[in-house]
Chain A
């Protein structure tokens, strides 16, 4: 890794480089090598190996007796994954999850941050701490808590609804998606409230004071002054939220033990896990992982493009 970083001695030195002489490539390499070594081991090499693996398949000869043979099959694994009904269905469920989760979470976080930044809000420190609390709860535990809160007999929510005459099964086929969205909203809203609130605190007070003198009310100031000024923070949140939704694995895997509505291949990540550990088809699992990574790359590129255009406008 170190050899890939050329020293600046051969380069035409700019004025900036002359000012920082002695802090050139060789020292930079020293500081960067640990990170890029780990990065190569934990990200680059696994992805490259998976790409290689995804072009091969284990084939049993004849009647399935004897040694399995490994042979090059080109893009066959990719076709199989993309033709699998459960994988494509998983992508569909993930898309619906995004469509529900992103507006709920980002909208909720924005509303809460604006309320917290309103001049009349009290006890800001305590509210921030409380709203951040779910982020200190691991995803597994969050999913477990909510799984119990959805289970009739244990859940206070279900019994309150029942006494109000409402029969609602949070774990049936219709409700399972909103139920899982709710877990994610609970886990992530508070974190993003803090990010947005700190951005709001950086809005110059003179601007808000001027708006107030001009007669703008609290709500008007929030929507037409504060909101446009925190758009950069909002677009960063959008980017990380979109990447985050593709990670969906923990919550549905935990919930899948409590209900049959969540199958073992419910989202693409679960499909890949199932391919590797239940169907023992490592080549297909590799192909599925590469497809998921590619989807993430395309999506985050799209979000970055979209938000940079929004910020310019």
Chain B
């Protein structure tokens, strides 16, 4: 099964940079076979669970327990999708839209806030810079989940639990983004360019928006992409903050359905199909934006 899913697209991709392939002549067939076989094995481990999810989503409850895992049963894929979309008056689409909104808000505005701060840490001289950057690093090191309950406790004082603000404010805070932005600013924005702009009479704000930000755009997109994924994947924050079904992101919504499916097995195909539908947007985003997350990681690790 794994080979048929893997080998088809393999033929269409170029096999590594040619310079390195020429160096392979002393490797021999055996080691070349071993290396690539191990790589395929590793990828099978990564891919097969998602492939299983796809097969499982085509089955009704009886076939799910009755047929082979990687085989089709009675075609129920579209019935399952219809069931997911119609449950509780279409609440699933509402959850997807919520996830999209929270994640996009965090990506665009949280990303911009991080980029501005990272740029300032790289390009401006001011007193206490090291201490302020130290605070950012402490923020990087504190695990997210350790601050979720404290945030809930504080939010309930202000009465903003169970509102969108309980999600939208925390998703703007991305200390690791600031750290990355500082690296990107140093790599992409030459000080001479800014100096030239200053000589030409551009203020620091003007030169950030017309020079710095466009030059850092790949970094901004990378930071935004990672923030998008982080918010989309976040489970504990919305679980703690939100009770209203209409405000939930898809991660928490599906976990509620999973709770229903324990006493009522007929919910199981909906949990599985809903899971599949919920990962499609991220998969598409990742494949389309490959260039950015890869170039971003490269810039980060070379520094």
Contacts and interface: CB of A to CB of B under 8 A. Distances in A.
B272 interface: yes
Interface stretch (A61-69, A85-93, A142-150, A305-313): A142-150
B144 A130 contact: no
A45 interface: yes
A249 B282 contact: no
B89 interface: no
A239 to B, nearest CB: 8
Contacts of B32: 120
B64 A42 contact: no
A269 B236 contact: yes
A159 B69 contact: yes
Given A17-B125, A42-B173, A115-B35, A131 B42 contact: yes
B154 interface: yes
B46 A131 contact: yes
Given A112-B42, A120-B31, A154 B64 contact: yes
A136 to B, nearest CB: 4
B122 to A, nearest CB: 10
B16 A124 contact: yes
A220 interface: no
Interface in A16-62: 16-17, 19-20, 22-25, 27-32, 34-36, 38-39, 41-43, 45-47, 49-50, 53
Nearest to B30: A120
Interface residues of B, number: 112
A311 B204 CA distance: 38
Contacts of B113: 34-35, 38
| A interface residue count range (under 10 / 10 to 19 / 20 to 34 / 35 or more) | 35 or more
B126 A7 contact: yes
A247 B153 CA distance: 18
A213 B123 CA distance: 44
Given A139-B233, A153-B65, A46 B290 contact: no
Contacts of A49: 150, 153-154, 157
Contact of B147 (A30, A46, A250): A46
A156 B69 contact: yes
Nearest to A51: B150
A133 interface: yes
Interface string B271-303: 110010011001101110010011001101110
A105 to B, nearest CB: 13
B145 A123 contact: no
Interface in A224-281: 233, 239, 243-244, 246-247, 249-250, 253-254, 257-258, 269, 272-273, 276-277
Contact of A50 (B42, B153, B205): B153
A138 interface: yes
B191 to A, nearest CB: 8
Interface stretch (A76-84, A170-178, A190-198): A190-198
Q: Which 9 A-B pairs have the closest CB atoms?
A: A156-B69, A46-B150, A31-B120, A35-B117, A50-B150, A120-B32, A25-B126, A42-B173, A28-B124
B294 A8 contact: no
A166 interface: no
B50 interface: yes
B70 interface: yes
Contact of A141 (B23, B254, B290): B254
B12 to A, nearest CB: 9
A251 B286 CA distance: 23
Given A24-B126, A35-B178, A249 B235 contact: yes
5 contacts: A27-B204, A123-B10, A156-B69, A276-B152, A286-B149
A23 B232 contact: no
A198 B298 CA distance: 5
